[in-house]
Every structure is written in C-alpha cells, then in structure tokens.
Amino acid sequence: MGIQIQNITKTFGAYTALDRIDLDVPSGELVALLGPSGSGKTTLLRVIAGLETPDAGAIHFDGEEATRRHVRKRGVGFVFQHYALFRHMTVFDNIAFGLTVKPRGERPGKEKLRERVTELLHLIQLDTMADRYPAQLSGGQRQRVALARALATEPKVLLLDEPFGALDAKVRQELRRWLRKLHDEIHVTSVFVTHDQEEALEVADRVVVMNRAKVEQVGTPEEIYEHPANPFVFNFLGNVNLFHCRGTAGDDHAGAIAGPLGANRDSIGYVRPSDIRIRRSAETADDIAAEVILVQGAGVLPRIELKRLDTDEIVQAELPRDQYRKLGLKTGEKVFIHPTNVRVFEPDFQI
C-alpha cells in the first residue's frame, strides 16, 4: 500500500514537530526517515500510524483519505523503540495478540492461530522460545518478537521506530541485514525511523532526510550520498571539511582553494575526509602544507587529523588501508594535502 502525505503539520504547544510535510511512500518500498533527534521523524511515523492526530494536512492510503481513520482501522503494524512487548504474556501470546482481538467473525480458530504463530516464530528464528516471557529474552530476540507481533495481522504498512536503537553494534548489523532480507521476501510497505545514517543508507530503498520538522531531501541512498541537496544533508551523512573557495578578483579569504565551476569568493567548499589526498611532496600549486597531529590506525578507514600550516585550521582525512600503510604517517610530520571532489551549495536566498 502506498502512503501519500500532504502538507502535514503537527505542533505540541509552542513546539512545531512537523512543518508542512509532503512525502510519498511508494507501495512495497522500504523507506528510512533519517534525521537528528528532535527532527520530527518519530512524530511523522506516529502520525502515519494514527497515534498522533495532525493539526493540518492529509494522509492518503493508496489514494484513499485516511487522516481521521482510527488507529485500529488503519491496518498498520508498529514496532516500538523499546518493543513494548506485553510483559505478562509469553512470546506465543504476544504474537497471537493481534489475531485474538479481532472481531468474533474474523478471528481465526485455535488451529489456524497456532499455525500462523508457529509460522511467524519460524520466520523470526525463535521456534523454541514460544513459552518464554519477554523478560527472559535478549534485546535482539525481543526486537524480533515485536516484529513478528506486528506482522501477525498481515498489515499493509509496517512502521518501525528506531528498530535497532537499543541494541549493541553486532546484533544491530545482523538484524539490519535480516530486516532487509525479510522485506525482500514479504514486500510490505515499510517505514523506519533512524538517526544512524549508515543504517539508513544500508537498509533502505529510499531515504528521507529530515531536519527541524522539515524534509530536507528524498532519494535513493546513492542519490543522497552522492548528490546531497544542501549542506545539512552533506553534513549529516558524514564528516566534512570546509574550505573557502577562490574567486576571480584576487581578494580571497586566507587559505582559499580552487572551487568547482561557478564558485566565487564567498562559496564554501565541502570536502569529505575520504576525498582529502595526502602526499609527502607538493605536486600542484594547490597543495596545502599541513602537519599530522593525530593518527587513528584502527577501523575500516584509518583517520588522520592534520593542521594546516597557513591557517592553523584542522582538516580530517581518511585513507584506504593500503595507502595508509604505504605512507606510514607519524604525528608531527609535515605533509601536503589536496582536497578533491570539492562541492559548493548555492547559498539560500534567506537572510
């Protein structure tokens, strides 16, 4: 089921959580709402579920007006951040809950119910845990039970609020991949909230970047990463170095670098740490002399922190492992850096 969100506004007292949001979630896609805390992403999710009522705007499910539709009638599955499992029920009863509260006519019989729950237990790979209570499960297991419970009623939309937020890094990785696989199997339209850009980029078909109650950019992970629409998105998706760009008049800021086409003296150049080249000797006139002040060799991409000798500004760089080994950088060494892939954004026409 596709979701069309039009002009949704939601305020809590003086605080605006959602400011005229427009968004289209195509049927069958896995969409991530990505943003810092307080950006309104969870509120948007709750508005879609019907747990919050918007002050203005409309929500359509497959083109059908659903703004005022009661939560119960929306047919959504919701996975809460802290799982919200019923703590006095076993795993089996938790998963069965949605089926047992159906009106008498639609309620499945005992056999049917057992079949469906067993099927779901198998799906979440917890076949042997049916009689456990939530308190007896690990965080990752609880998360999966919460997911199975949401899926039991065959919702047309699955909504997940920070689904991996409270888990440790390793379990998180596994569950992420598992969720992606699951989605590829059952194809239910899914929206999940996260503040972790890596998570959003890895799992989602489409990423919605939110900031301060507004949508900043919508696109595939690649589009978002390769063509960020504005400085906020660029910044939020990873570390960034800022440089002044050179203009044509010769009255440049100190330490300005050559910008891309169309840059002027007031343009700010954005460069990712992985786009900073480091060399032992200057190769072009644009190379900037710098001193290595910190080397972090651990991690996938070794991180180097440098201080520009001309402006004393700190620049962060990331090197591929082999190059890092070849260079063998040490703190205090003098090297040359060369920013590549410099990006500038049109300044906003706002004061």
Partner 1 sequence: MTTQASTLSPPFNRTLTEPRAIRWILSGLALAFLAMFLLVPLVAVFVQALEKGLAPYWTAIVEPDALAAIRLTLIAAAFSVPLNLVFGIAAAWAITKFKFRGKAVLITLIDLPFSVSPVISGLIYVLLFGLQGWMGPWLAEHDIQMIFAVPGIVLATIFVTFPFVARELIPLMQSQGTEEEEAALVLGASGWQIFFRVTLPNVIWGVLYGVILCNARAMGEFGAVSVVSGHIRGLTNTLPLHVEILYNEYNFVAAFAVASLLALLAIFTLVAKALLEKKVRHQVKSITREIGVE
Q: Which of residues 44-103 bind partner 1 (CB under 8 A)?
A: 49-51, 71-72, 76-78, 80, 82-88, 97-98, 101-102
Smallest gap from Cβ 67 to partner 1, in A, equals 17
Question: For residue 304, which of 323, 317, 288 has the smallest C-alpha distance?
Answer: 317
Pairing assessment for the beta strands 30-34 and 189-194 based on DSSP bridges: parallel
Q: Rounded CA gap, 231 and 24, in Å?
A: 23
Binding mask 287-316 for partner 1 (x = CB under 8 A): ------------------------------
Count CA atoms closer than 13 A to 311's CA, side-chain side: 12
What's the DSSP call for residue 299? S
Smallest gap from Cβ 31 to partner 1, in A, equals 18
What's the DSSP call for residue 107? P
Return the residue of 58, 166, 258, 293 that touches partner 1, per CB under 8 A.
166
* 113 touches partner 1 (CB under 8 A): no
User: Quick one: which segment of 43-51, 218-226, 280-288, 292-300 binds partner 1 (CB under 8 A)?
Assistant: 43-51
* 163 touches partner 1 (CB under 8 A): no
What's the DSSP call for residue 128? G
- C-alpha distances (whole Å) from 288 to each of 86, 216, 240, 247, 251 are 60, 33, 17, 18, 19
* 112 touches partner 1 (CB under 8 A): no
Binding mask 126-155 for partner 1 (x = CB under 8 A): --------xx--xx--x------xx-xx--
Binding mask 189-228 for partner 1 (x = CB under 8 A): ----------------------------------------
Q: Rounded CA gap, 347 and 351, in Å?
A: 10
Q: Rounded CA gap, 317 and 277, in Å?
A: 8
Q: Rounded CA gap, 241 and 143, in Å?
A: 37
Of 162 and 287, nearer to partner 1 (C-beta) is 162
Q: Rounded CA gap, 251 and 243, in Å?
A: 15
Q: Contact positions toward partner 1, by CB under 8 A?
A: 49-51, 71-72, 76-78, 80, 82-88, 97-98, 101-102, 134-135, 138-139, 142, 149-150, 152-153, 166-168
